Amino acid sequence: MRRRSGIALTLILFFLLSLLSASQLSYLDPSLPVAERVEDLMLRMTLEEKIGQMNQYLGLSFLEREDQKSADQMLSQLRQGLIGSFLMVADLREANRLQEIAKQSRLKIPPLNAIDAIHGHCLYYGATVYPTCIGMASSFNTDLVEKIHAATARELRATGYHWAFFPYLSVSRDPRWGRVGENFGEDPLLVSEMAAACVRGLQGDDYASPGRVLACAKVLLGDGQSINGLNLAPMDVSERTLYEIFLPPAKACVDAGARTFMVAHNEINGIPCHSNAWLLTGLLREQWGFAGYTISDWGDIERLVDGHKVAVDQKAAVRMAVSAGVDVHMHGSDFVEPLAELVREGAISEGRIDRTVRAVLGDKFKLGLFEDPYVDERKGGEILGCEDHIEMALEMGRQSIVLLKNDGPVLPLSRNLKSLLVTGPLADSNALVGDWVHAQPDKNIVTVLEGIEALVSNQMKVEYFNCGNLLEITDQSIDTAAAKARLVDAVVLVVGGNDNRSDESWELRFDRPNRSGGENVARSSLGLVGRQLDLVRAVQATGTPLVVVLVNGRPLAIEWIAENVAAIVEAWQPGMQGGKAVAEVLFGEYSPSGRLPITIPRGVGHLLSFYNYRPTTYLRKYKYGKTGPLFEFGHGLSYTTFEYRELQVSRELSGGGPVNVSVEVRNTGDVASDEIVLLFVNDVVSSVTTPVRKLKSFKRIHLEPGEQKRVHFRLSTDQLALYDVNMRRVVEPGVFEVMVGDLRGEFELESPPLR
């Protein structure tokens, strides 16, 4: 009897002690340093709970839409502390709800919420939708890109997200690929600078400060030059191309402090990225010093089994991926268990797991989620789509537009026109918001027609003719458009493509009818889809002044249009304010200033077609038709003229000898305009072949009529390096040619080679 009461006393004592210690759990004490809190928490975690931090799941509503059983399973895992993060949480209410449920778990570890925020927080209802990345790249305005991403981070945080699956850092070398619009073009320097600006904007100096989020640079490494233009298809590129073209943007994101990286769907030269230890560990961590964590892309650990066929089953795939350096598994139930088994069997060390868990938990502490994981519903409403952000969307819309051709000049259109016909399948369409956008309130999106009407309909008669969707243009609608064109002073014809994956029902669907681009929509031809070209031909044949406006996410092979239509405006996907921006350009309220960040080829037979080609690329010509691109990288017209003068190139002999290049740029027309000054360099004779020109720097300036500015560039010798025959990065002596505008200069690096 005495013994029993002794046991009871011990139990009561133990219970009281554990209550006391629960209220004193060090990891819940915000006054302690993060590292200490992390270690304290990790000591309390089971292996499964640790692996739970590497386990990401799709948000509740998306799962429920798929099936209730998986949604219930997910909730049960969350209550057991086996889920570390979510992707695609539907909204802030769901974000709060998931945080509440996580609090029911033993250790109450808050989840991180991630979402694709490709050109704004666009998968969220009411958010600001900026132009897509190919348009942002056309602005060459990294400052504005950084500001836009700081604004996006504010919208994300206000709605319960902590992690943006962005920036995309692929170099788009094949326009058949549907994701060109999500990327910053074909030049490694431009992509690097844009992607780094996004990282700075999203994360700020410290991603833990208010209104900032973790950036997830993606993807490592691909996928802009697959063997057939299809998404996920193998990349088969030389080591030289990897180092010269595809790796620099990833390195730039590491240098900009990107906290996380997403691994690419594709294989490179026979090795799936998800099992590529050289890439994810050797290069990323050991050589480049990356200290954050990586996440697999959708279905990609599983794809090691059923796609790439390098693993016999999921357990083998998990082993390969985690050993190679994949830290977090994006969505799916088959991860925690196999990984726990692998650790118990000694195939993967617990230390390997701890490395990731330390980093993930550290972020949750830094972001303050243990103290307050919830968001205030009112705050979200105030920040989403607020005036400042919409103004930035409009400004980027303007700067992203590229004037491809303007013979006559047809543009800008006069405000004294009596009548204007606006037609084409994309004239009054939301396609101008691009891919990765959920259905948005109609009132938030200004179509081209709406932009034109708002600007000039009180001055002229603006007639709209709906000629049917992309694939619905008929003989009859073509005839009617042409008949109407004969009766007006000018026609604005909006054609192109539609990458938008959402419709009014809020379903996100890759296979949405009329979707001609975007993720998973590659093309084997690059002309206008459907009967759009017939429509253009018919309207052009009327002789009425015609402006073709292109709304599209990838270069379109528009050879006939380029040869026959006097005025062509490449609007890309100019975002929610895009219609207003296009209208301002058409009527001269804004002088176009964008430059192509990607070459527009004549057709699929001309691929690959990029500006930084090697010297023998075009020594021979195609037998039939023209050789060379339709519009090359860097092309873009304005309503004014700029004169480039007095190019000065000089070596600084002190301090390693950087090269100073400067040029006088003068606005010789009578319209104020921005000008993008591009500096290209050609290593004239080198031990290995080098491109005929490579972009080395760029600056965007504004010039009033008659104004001139001297633009200065400073090139370090390192920027002149090449990979030699042994793939060593060296700077070789000799003559380098410098190209700015229509001017050329040169300088010489003396022997012996400088490092």
Burial classification of residue 726, based on how many CB atoms lie within 10 Å of its CB (0-12 exposed, 13-18 middle, 19 or more buried): exposed
Question: What is d(CA 511, CA 326) in angstroms, rounded to the nearest whole number?
Answer: 30
Shortest CB 445 distance to ligand BGC, Å: 22
The dihedral of CA 714, 716, 719, 721: what is its sign? positive
Shortest CB 224 distance to ligand BGC, Å: 13
Residue ranges that bind ligand BGC, judged by CB under 6 A: 87, 116, 165, 218, 297-298
Q: Residue 192: phi, psi to the nearest 5?
A: -60, -50
- Between 55 and 477, name the residue whose CB sits nearer to ligand BGC: 55
Shortest CB 295 distance to ligand BGC, Å: 9
Question: What is d(CA 50, CA 358) in angstroms, rounded to the nearest whole number?
Answer: 9
Question: What is d(CA 142, CA 562) in angstroms, rounded to the nearest whole number?
Answer: 30
Q: How are beta strands 402-406 and 267-268 bridged, if at all?
A: unpaired
Shortest CB 430 distance to ligand BGC, Å: 21
Shortest CB 297 distance to ligand BGC, Å: 5
Are the C-beta atoms of residues 702 and 590 closer than 8 Å to each other? Answer: no
- Kindly state the greatest CA–CA separation across the chain: 109
* Beta-bridge mates of residue 382: none
- Between 87 and 550, name the residue whose CB sits nearer to ligand BGC: 87
Question: What is d(CA 748, CA 720) in angstroms, rounded to the nearest whole number?
Answer: 11
CA torsion 115→119→124→126, rounded to 10°? 160
Q: Which of 297, 300, 363, 674 is catalytic?
A: 297
Angle, helices 350-366/34-44, rounded to nearest 10 degrees: 130
- Between 222 and 425, name the residue whose CB sits nearer to ligand BGC: 222
Task: Please give the sequence-ordered ranges of beta strands (E in DSSP) within 433-575, or none if there are none.
Answer: 461-465, 490-496, 546-551, 567-570
- Between 41 and 87, name the residue whose CB sits nearer to ligand BGC: 87
Question: What is d(CA 721, CA 749) in angstroms, rounded to the nearest whole number?
Answer: 11
Shortest CB 265 distance to ligand BGC, Å: 6
Shortest CB 87 distance to ligand BGC, Å: 6
* Complete DSSP assignment for 619-638: SS--SSS--S-SB-TT--B-
- Between 307 and 734, name the residue whose CB sits nearer to ligand BGC: 307
What is the SS3 assignment for 101? helix
For 52-87, b/e burial (b = at least 16 CB within 10 A) is bbbbbbbbbbbbeeeeeebbeebbebbebbbbbbbb
- Between 14 and 298, name the residue whose CB sits nearer to ligand BGC: 298
Are the C-beta atoms of residues 253 and 169 closer than 8 Å to each other? Answer: yes
* Complete DSSP assignment for 124-166: STT---PPPHHHHHHHT-HHHHHHHHHHHHHHHHHTT--EE--
- Between 511 and 742, name the residue whose CB sits nearer to ligand BGC: 511
- Between 331 and 696, name the residue whose CB sits nearer to ligand BGC: 331
Shortest CB 165 distance to ligand BGC, Å: 4
Active site residue 297: yes
Tokens found for residue 243: 């180092």
Q: Which H or E element spans position 114?
A: strand 112-115
Shortest CB 501 distance to ligand BGC, Å: 11
- Between 223 and 559, name the residue whose CB sits nearer to ligand BGC: 223
Which residues participate in catalysis according to the annotation? 297
